[in-house]
Amino acid sequence: MELYIDDRQDKIELDEEVFNIVEKAIKETLLFESKPLSFEVSLTFVDNEGIRELNKQYRNIDRETDVLSFPLYEDSSISPAPMLGDIVISAEKAWAQSIEYGHSFIREIAYLTVHSILHLLGYDHMEEEDKSIMRAKEKEIMKRLKIFKKGKED
C-alpha cells in the first residue's frame, strides 16, 4: 500500500503517531473488506476553512465538515485500481470533535480514516439501512484496531 500524506494546515500539530494510525486504519479497513493492500491512497490534512471551501465546491454545502472522500471510481466493481482515491480531513475539526466526544485525537483520526476508506470502497450512509451497515463495519474495524470509545470495549 502506498500512502501519500500532505499536511496543508498549521492549526494542529501532527506527528508520527497520527501518520501511523492513519496507515494502520487504512490497512485494517482494506483487510476487513478482503481488498488487496496494493492500493494507493492520498490523504490531505487541512483546517476548517480549507475543508469548508472543498465542501462548498464539491458538495455545494457552505460549511466545514470533518472529512471528505473522493473515490477514484464511482463504480466499486472496478478492481484492483492502483489509486483508490483521496481523503481530506480537517485536523482542526477532528481535534474539536475529539474534545466534544471525550476521546483522543488519535481515536478521532482513526475513525475518520476508517469512515473515509469505506466511502472510497463504495459504502454510503444516506439511507438508514446503508448507514446501519456502514456503522457496524466501522465499529468492527475500530475493535480490530483496539481503539474504543471512552469507557467501552464493544
- Residue 153 counted as domain residue: no
User: In this model, does residue 154 exceed pLDDT 50?
Assistant: no
| Annotated binding-site members | 115, 119, 125
DSSP sequence for 117-141:
HHHHTT---SSHHHHHHHHHHHHHH
Q: What is the mean pLDDT of residues 77-84?
A: 65
- Residue 108 counted as domain residue: yes
- Residue 151 counted as domain residue: no
What pLDDT, on a 0 to 100 scale, did the predictor assign at position 53?
A: 98
- Residue 135 counted as domain residue: yes
Torsions phi, psi for 18 (to 5 deg):
-65, -50
- Residue 150 counted as domain residue: no
pLDDT tens-digit map of 84-98: 999 999 999 999 999
- Residue 14 counted as domain residue: yes
- Residue 150's pLDDT band, with cuts at 50, 70 and 90, is low
Residue 149 or 118, more confident: 118
pLDDT tens-digit map of 108-147: 999 999 999 999 999 998 889 989 999 999 999 999 999 9
The number of folded domains in the chain is: 1
* Residue of 86, 91, 79 whose CA lies nearest to 19: 91
What pLDDT, on a 0 to 100 scale, did the predictor assign at position 125?
A: 87
State the pTM of this model.
0.91
d(CA 101, CA 108): 9
User: In this model, does residue 79 exceed pLDDT 90?
Assistant: no
Domain carrying residue 94:
2-144
| Annotated binding-site members for Zn(2+) | 115, 119, 125
- Residue 47 counted as domain residue: yes
Q: What is the mean pLDDT of residues 6-23?
A: 98
pLDDT tens-digit map of 23-68: 999 999 999 999 989 899 999 999 999 999 999 999 999 999 999 9
The DSSP code for 145 is T
- Residue 130 counted as domain residue: yes
What pLDDT, on a 0 to 100 scale, did the predictor assign at position 104?
A: 95
Give the CATH number of the domain where residue 57 resides: 3.40.390.30
d(CA 154, CA 147): 10
